[in-house]
Chain A
């Protein structure tokens, strides 16, 4: 027993000292802590944060975006949009290769965009792409059936990874292709090891086509399901970066740590919105006055300041407020209980009504707490609200996608351009039974459809902005959704890191400029 005790003591001391020793020299390792678990690493057939963070390190794409929403060269050193908006020519860099040494050609770009068009859940990204011509090895001409101003943003690393055709075009279904878990890309980092659900280890690509990058030698994405454990690991220095952190407890506590910086930048293109959705086909909620009454009764400021302890920001409309398309003149529905009660009486519910609210399980502060707050708040306008919990995500998703709900809390991303992440929630044509994050509100307004369809093809940025402005005003009037707050995603990182990911895509963007200052 004595020997065992001595051995364990020695183990604790040795491993403890080894674990806390900073081992960074030139290059160095970055450990990213993540609560997200990717299915695989191929962002061409899978959306979501979990896949996009590693996928954007492994795969390069035609363009990348700066912090001012301006496209920048990446695999395409230049590009040209024709005057009629019906073709986009990409001129690829000459000497780029995949991690296996094969050169990247226009054939790879064409294959990748068509594969993404056919398999990615965001079908609006490349829907207007008819064909892609490849007149030479370094030129790809994208032919469109209609102008598609969202196309350039869709060519970002998070949405359009360039796949090696020689690996993926082998007759197997790309959605379940074995290479999705052992990907070969052309990005700044190469996959060394992927243990599903546990860790992803990425090594520097020594032949990356941008000279002098990446700066780091290695990125390790360590998956830790429990945010509290991740918080302690971040404090202890076991983890260097914790992106997509949304809990006020973690944010406020890590703000106090000396060696940690916290930023809410890096999520503009993600556009995460936390909202209250109405089933507009429900008998009680089909009357817009009831929906407006609920909107007037809800105190957005209380939710962001008290429930979210000041870490989240208010969100008034369907387009994230940090987007250039947001219109800040829309009706905000500031709290007005008299008006709310009057609207309830007008709608014939002066004696009150009973309603049920659902919420996404597992995100207590953003979802469950708000639902519980609404229960007490809506009592003030005569609504007896039952909060219905779901044991897990599939149960909630089943209820909402099956339109078996009255009110539900939900959280949806804008994904950069409204065509990609906003239209899907409001188009009449996207009311689809069994499909989560479609138009599950069953909201249908032909005028909205016309405006969105026009905005999707409008090339003049000012006119496009005007169309989205009209759209936002109509949605504010019709209230298929009451918008509450931008999900308060923050990135915590070791303050010795230089060039932290604060661009519009945050960590869903190549981390090739990130480096240690010592």
Chain B
């Protein structure tokens, strides 16, 4: 894998990011509603002069194209602007939340891949067995059920009827000053329901995908050879078959990353998880343009980076692709 290939991919990624910034800016301005009226509404009403000064302060009185130019210029200098609503730099608002989102998304990703692949492999062993049927039904339901509904059902079940998990937030407010293991366990306790909610839909997909992929691989000649030479079934499944069946899973994992982030938006809202998704949701309702664009910028960057890493890891995992551009 040449470094020029990586550089080219990063270059494409940057151009894509610029396109995303411009498109986001224009799309958001198409939404009806005046941020100055929202700010005034939050203040409890305002005079005409106050409205004018709000528009002046936030540059809302300038033509849209001028605002776009200023925004892109600022972004290129690393300045994402100031939140209309909170009057704080967008970068600091995101900085306070990006860790929570990454924790949720990565946990859900790992959970869905590990459990999904495990279920898929088990199901592929006996394609007509009970487990295989269960995986197919579970995959169909998991894929069809809206993520917010799953979240609400889990809250009713595990936070209200059988209150063993917290209903909202990332940590108990009373334990916030606790450090070390107590803090980590508290966060893990809060993470269970949201991470599982987010993971379910993708878990189902990975289970289906790995089942199909494994079935295909298990029918190939080299598996028959492995079995013929007396390799243990566990070795055949996990060493010989899964390694080859993992390539499509790797591809989908990279592609799904964007969906996972958009799923996180809903999950964070349902569970009051203090991440970027909830910030985005609230900011849309408040017409807080700089914050919405800042969150979209970071979310896009995460997807672009994830895709580049997938490309690179795909080439690393598949020797046939090494050296090809």
Contact = CB atoms under 8 A, between A and B. Distances in A.
Interface string B147-183: 0000000010001100111111100111110100010
27 contacts: A7-B188, A11-B188, A12-B164, A14-B182, A31-B173, A39-B42, A45-B43, A46-B43, A47-B43, A122-B45, A176-B87, A181-B87, A181-B88, A197-B278, A198-B274, A201-B176, A225-B272, A225-B278, A229-B167, A232-B167, A236-B163, A393-B38, A394-B34, A398-B33, A432-B48, A434-B34, A436-B40
A48 B44 contact: yes
A123 B47 CA distance: 8
B35 interface: yes
A394 B188 contact: no
B41 A437 contact: yes
Contact of A394 (B37, B114, B159, B279): B37
B50 interface: yes
A12 B192 contact: yes
Nearest to A392: B285
Contact of B87 (A12, A31, A180, A437): A180
B86 A393 contact: no
Interface residues on A, range: 35 or more
Contacts of A398: 32-34, 37
B174 A23 contact: yes
Interface of A: 1, 7-8, 10-12, 14-16, 18-19, 23, 29, 31, 37, 39-40, 45-48, 50, 121-123, 173, 175-176, 180-181, 195-199, 201, 220, 222, 224-226, 229-230, 232-233, 236, 238, 392-395, 397-398, 401, 413, 424, 432, 434-438
Given A11-B185, A12-B192, A393-B38, A233 B168 contact: yes
Interface of B: 32-35, 37-48, 50-51, 53, 57, 83, 85-88, 93, 96, 114, 118, 155, 159-160, 163-169, 172-176, 178, 182, 185-186, 188-190, 192, 269-272, 274, 278-279, 282, 284-287
A233 B175 CA distance: 15
Nearest to A48: B44
Contacts of A393: 38, 41, 285
3 cross-chain pairs, A with B, having the tightest CB-CB distances, nearest first: A394-B33, A47-B44, A15-B189
Contacts of A39: 39, 42-43, 85-87
A110 B39 CA distance: 27
B56 to A, nearest CB: 11
Tell me whether chain B's interface is mostly helix, strand or loop, or mixed: helix
Contacts of B87: 39-40, 176, 180-181
B47 A432 contact: yes
Contacts, number: 183
Most chain B CB within a 10 A radius of its CB, from A15, A47, A175: A15
A19 B166 contact: yes
Contact of A232 (B50, B93, B155, B185): B155
B38 A397 contact: yes
B43 A48 contact: yes
Given A197-B86, A397-B38, 18 more contacts: A7-B188, A14-B189, A18-B175, A18-B186, A19-B175, A39-B42, A39-B43, A39-B87, A46-B44, A121-B46, A121-B50, A122-B45, A176-B87, A224-B272, A229-B155, A233-B168, A394-B286, A398-B37
Contacts of B160: 232
Given A31-B174, A434-B51, A436-B41, A236 B167 contact: yes
